[in-house]
Amino acid sequence: MKNYLHRYIVWRKYNFNIAVRKAKRRKICYIFLAPYALLFILFYILPVIISIFYSFSYYNILEPPRYIGLRNYISLILQDDVFLTGVKNTFLIAIITGPLGYIASFIFAWLLNELPRWLRSIAVVVFYAPSIAGNVYVIFSIFFRGDAYGYVNAFLMDLGIIDAPILWLVNPDYMLPICMLVILWMSLGTGFLSFVAGLQGIDKTLYEAGCVDGVKNRWQELWYITLPNMKPMLMFGAVMSITQAFGVCEVTMALCGFPSTDYAARTIVTHLFDYGYARFEMGYASAIATLLFLIMILCNKAIQSLLRRVGT
Amino acid sequence: MKKKEVRARGYRKKIFKRRRPNRSRAGDFFIYLFLALVSAGMLFPLVFAVSSALKPLDELFKFPPRLFPQNPTLDNFFDLFVTMGKSWVPFGRYLLNTVTITVAGTAGHLIVASMGAYVLAKYDFPGGQTFFRLVTVALMFSGYVTAIPNYLIINRLGWVDTHWAIIVPAFAAPIGLFLMKQFMEGLPMSLIESAKIDGANEWKVFFRIVMPNVKPAWLTLIIFSVQNLWNNRAATFIYSEERKTLVYALQQLVNSGVARTGQAAAITVVVMMVPIIIFILSESQIIETMASSGLKE
ipTM of the complex: 0.86
Residue A39: which of B137, B172, B279 has the nearest Cβ?
B172
Domain boundaries B84-290, corresponding CATH code: 1.10.3720.10
The total number of residues written for chain A in this structure: 312
Q: What is the pLDDT of residue B23?
A: 72
Q: What is the pLDDT of residue A36?
A: 94
Q: pLDDT category, B21, cuts 50, 70, 90?
A: low
A79-307 is classed CATH 1.10.10.10: no
Higher-pLDDT residue of A99 and A158 is: A99
Q: What is the pLDDT of residue B71?
A: 81
Q: Is A282 in Cβ contact with B172 (below 8 Å)?
A: no
Cα nearest neighbour of B276 on chain A = A129
- Ranges A235-244, A265-274, B3-12, B132-141: which has the least confidence: B3-12
**Cβ–Cβ contact B294 with A under 8 A:** yes
pLDDT at A60 over 80: yes
The answer to whether the beta carbons of residues A55 and A290 sit under 8 Å apart is: yes
* CA A90/CA A267 separation, integer angstroms: 5
Q: Any bridge partners for residue A67, and if so which?
A: A57
The total number of residues written for chain B in this structure: 297
Q: What is the pLDDT of residue A222?
A: 86
State in Å, rounded, how far the first CA of chain A is from the last one.
44
* CA B222/CA B176 separation, integer angstroms: 9
**DSSP code of A65?**
P
* CA B267/CA B246 separation, integer angstroms: 8
CA dihedral B210, B214, B215, B218 (to 10 degrees): -100
Average pLDDT value over all residues in chain A: 87
CA max distance for chain A:
87
Q: What is the pLDDT of residue B176?
A: 92
Q: Is A137 in Cβ contact with B20 (below 8 Å)?
A: no
User: Which segments of B140-239 does DSSP mark as H helices, in order?
Assistant: 147-157, 164-171, 174-184, 189-197, 202-204, 211-213, 215-230
Q: How far apart are the CA of A283 and the nearest CA of chain B, in angstroms?
A: 10
- Closest-CA residue to A182 (of A279, A239, A249, A278): A249
Q: pLDDT category, B171, cuts 50, 70, 90?
A: very high
Contacts of A304 in chain B (CB under 8 A): 297
**Cβ–Cβ contact B51 with A under 8 A:** no
Residues 190-229 of B with CB under 8 A from A: 202, 206, 223-224, 227
- Ranges B14-28, B55-69, B217-231: which has the least confidence: B14-28
Higher-pLDDT residue of A205 and B258 is: A205
Q: What is the pLDDT of residue A294?
A: 92
* CA A300/CA A293 separation, integer angstroms: 11
> Three-class SS string for A71-86?
HHHHHHHHCCHHHHHH
Q: pLDDT category, A312, cuts 50, 70, 90?
A: low
Residue intervals of chain B classified under CATH 1.10.3720.10 are 84-290
Residue intervals of chain A classified under CATH 1.10.3720.10 are 79-307
**Average of pLDDT values for A146-153?**
79
> Three-class SS string for B189-217?
HHHHHHHHHCCCCHHHHHHHHHHHHCHHH
pLDDT at B15 over 50: no
**Average of pLDDT values for A187-192?**
89
- Closest-CA residue to A138 (of B167, B231, B26): B231
pLDDT digits (tens, 9 = 90+) for B97-114: 999 999 999 999 999 999
3-state SS, residue A67: strand
Residue type, A202: I
Residues 170-189 of B with CB under 8 A from A: 171-172, 174-175, 177
- Ranges A128-137, A187-196, A294-303: which has the least confidence: A128-137
* CA A138/CA A144 separation, integer angstroms: 10
pLDDT digits (tens, 9 = 90+) for B241-293: 888 888 887 777 777 766 677 788 888 888 888 889 999 998 888 888 888 88
pLDDT digits (tens, 9 = 90+) for A151-167: 888 888 888 888 888 88
**Cβ–Cβ contact B250 with A under 8 A:** yes
Q: pLDDT category, A139, cuts 50, 70, 90?
A: confident
Q: Is A289 in Cβ contact with B271 (below 8 Å)?
A: no
Q: What is the pLDDT of residue B1?
A: 43
Q: Which residues contact B138 (CB under 8 A, 6 or more apart)?
A: A40, A44, A45, B174
**Average of pLDDT values for A284-307?**
90
Cα nearest neighbour of A19 on chain B = B126
How far from A269 is each of A176, A212, A288, B254, CA to CA, in Å? 15, 52, 8, 23
* CA A254/CA A247 separation, integer angstroms: 14
User: Which segments of B64-146 does DSSP mark as H helices, in order?
Assistant: 75-86, 91-122, 128-139
- CB pairs A-B closer than 8 Å: 282
The answer to whether the beta carbons of residues A157 and A165 sit under 8 Å apart is: yes
**Average of pLDDT values for B28-38?**
89
Q: Is B174 in Cβ contact with A137 (below 8 Å)?
A: no
CA dihedral for A77, A270, A171, B41, sign (positive or negative): negative
